[in-house]
Structure 1
Amino acid sequence: MLSTGSPPTTVQGRCSISWTHSGGRSSTPPEANVHATSPDGCVYVGWLPEDPSAWQRNIVWHVRVQPADGDAWVQKFGLHTPSEAVAGFPAALVTHSSC
């Protein structure tokens, strides 16, 4: 069973060190925004709890994908989605991507 680990820690742990990270340092509370971008720039994952409307919409995770030869798309995840599941989603995309 997946836990609901700290989003900053989980995103930074699952997205390899070659990803670009901002926000969510170890001294930052879990309520701070965290951004990670894949090395090729095709995949972005964001934990965006600082947006008050995100809590009202129940959407605090955003994954954006820009394929090299296709239309961009977005996947959004709610408050109750385990951070490990969200972090695994873009990690799998990058591993099996032709971006």
Structure 2
Amino acid sequence: MTLIAATPVQVPVAPPHATLGDRKWLLDCHCATPVVELLRHKGWDVSSDPYANVHCSSPDQLVYVGFLPETKEAARGELWHIHVKDADDKVAWSETFGPGVPAQAVAGFLAALIASPNRGCPCV
């Protein structure tokens, strides 16, 4: 048996992907614009109230997205509200995002939901 010396493994100095420093935009935007633009483009109803809250409803009226900076919920850390109704018009599930979550992240979450409008889970 002959032993051959292996080449030592070298750990890269920098990660092969971009670092957070290159993605400062992930920490910046806390307005409703990225979400509103996405939902308007998808045909959702968008309205605002005199208090700067923004309300969005899906074309079938089963999904509600609210950007609610001027509410008691926002004071508790719940800036974004998403509610999905079932066929009986009852809230089936909901999600909230706080003021520290950038609007692009909320838009990405919603874009993923919109991209999968049909049941994709084989267990259902």
In the superposition, the TM-score normalised over structure 1's length comes to 0.75
User: What is the one-letter code of the residue matched to 2:73?
Assistant: A
Deviation at 1:6, TM superposition (A): 5.0
Greater C-alpha Rg: 2
Deviation at 1:71, TM superposition (A): 6.0
Deviation at 1:12, TM superposition (A): 1.5
Q: 1:6 to 1:56 in 2, by over 3 A?
A: closer
1:4 aligned to 2:19?
Answer: no
* SS of the residue 1:7 aligns to: coil
Alignment identity in percent? 41
1:73 alignment counterpart? 93
Tell me, which stretches of 5 or more residues in structure 2 are unaligned? 1-22, 120-124
2:83 alignment counterpart? 64
Between the aligned partners of 2:87 and 2:111, the Cα distance in structure 1 is 17
Deviation at 1:68, TM superposition (A): 4.1
In the superposition, the TM-score normalised over structure 2's length comes to 0.62
1:54 alignment counterpart? 73
Tell me, which stretches of 5 or more residues in structure 1 are unaligned? none
C-alpha RMSD of matched pairs (Å): 2.7
